[in-house]
Amino acid sequence: MKNTAKFLLLPIALACAATAHAQSAGTWMVRAGGTTITPASTNGALTQPSLPNTQAAVGSASQVSGGITYMLDNNISIDVPLAMPFKHDITGDGAIAGVGKIADVKALPATVIAQWRFMGPKDMFRPYVGVGLTYAAFFGARGTSVLTAITGGTPDRPTTLSIGSKFAPTVQLGAAIALNSRWFVDANYTMTRLTATNTLSTGQTLESKIDPVSVSLSVGYMF
């Protein structure tokens, strides 16, 4: 009889142990999915010599992404999003709208976010808000023959460009939906207040108010 009672209590004990892996203090969460970054891209004009109102627009980019989250207590968490580098096309705008692609650049945002998670650690649906800091690293910028042509370069001396990396504040809104005691789906929206300086080899510069927003969807595991 005692053995039978122990057998009947075993599923209950396992269930209780499983719920300990809810989003509570000390829980680690890892996730994998995808992210799309869309810059707002409000630009100033390219400095002289250039056509008045010569501008550029930065295109959207998508990439495989994920992240690691640690629960400091039942409501406060620290999140580090992870992703492969994003490749953004840069096209002519303003006075040179319609010329097509003038450059491309790779971007790798490194972000740390402090989050406040609403509801309780065992609730299936947990919305959250976050605030953090992003280091936007730009590298591998390449100009096209169009950029060379509109800036006075030559095939022998093509125009090159670089985009300055910098820190910027980030805010976040998201939610996690538990599938069971360990697996969950996470969706979030972030916005970063970012202004970057584009510098051409001709000495000209262009200030870009990029202010990128990103949308991420992933599946995660808690332990």
Q: Which two tokens stand for residue 45?
A: 């004009």
In the block, which residue shows the tokens 């599938």?
Answer: 179
Residue-averaged pLDDT of the chain: 88
Residue 2 three-state SS? helix
DSSP H stretches of helix in 120-207 = 145-150
Ordered DSSP codes for 4-23:
HHHHHHHHHHHHHHHHTTSS
Distance CA 183, CA 118 (A): 18
The domain ranges of the chain are 25-222
Query: Which residues, at least 6 apart from 40, have a Cβ–Cβ distance to it below 8 Å?
Result: 209, 210, 211, 212, 213
81 exposure class (CB count in 10 Å sphere: 0-12, 13-18, 19+): buried
Q: Is the pLDDT of residue 17 over 70?
A: no
pLDDT digits (tens, 9 = 90+) for 95-143: 888 899 999 999 999 999 999 999 999 999 999 999 999 999 999 999 9
- pLDDT band at residue 10, thresholds of 50, 70 and 90? very low
Q: Is the pLDDT of residue 73 over 70?
A: yes
pLDDT of residue 1: 47
State in Å, rounded, how far the first CA of the chain is from the last one: 35
Q: Average pLDDT of 198-218?
A: 91
Distance CA 215, CA 190 (A): 7
Categorise residue 15: left if φ over 0, alpha if ψ from -120 to 50, beta otherwise. alpha
The third-level CATH classification (topology) of the domain covering 25-222 is Porin (2.40.160)
pLDDT digits (tens, 9 = 90+) for 30-48: 999 999 999 987 777 778 7
Q: What is the CB neighbour count within 10 angstroms for residue 33?
A: 17
Q: Which residue has the higher pLDDT, 33 or 157?
A: 33
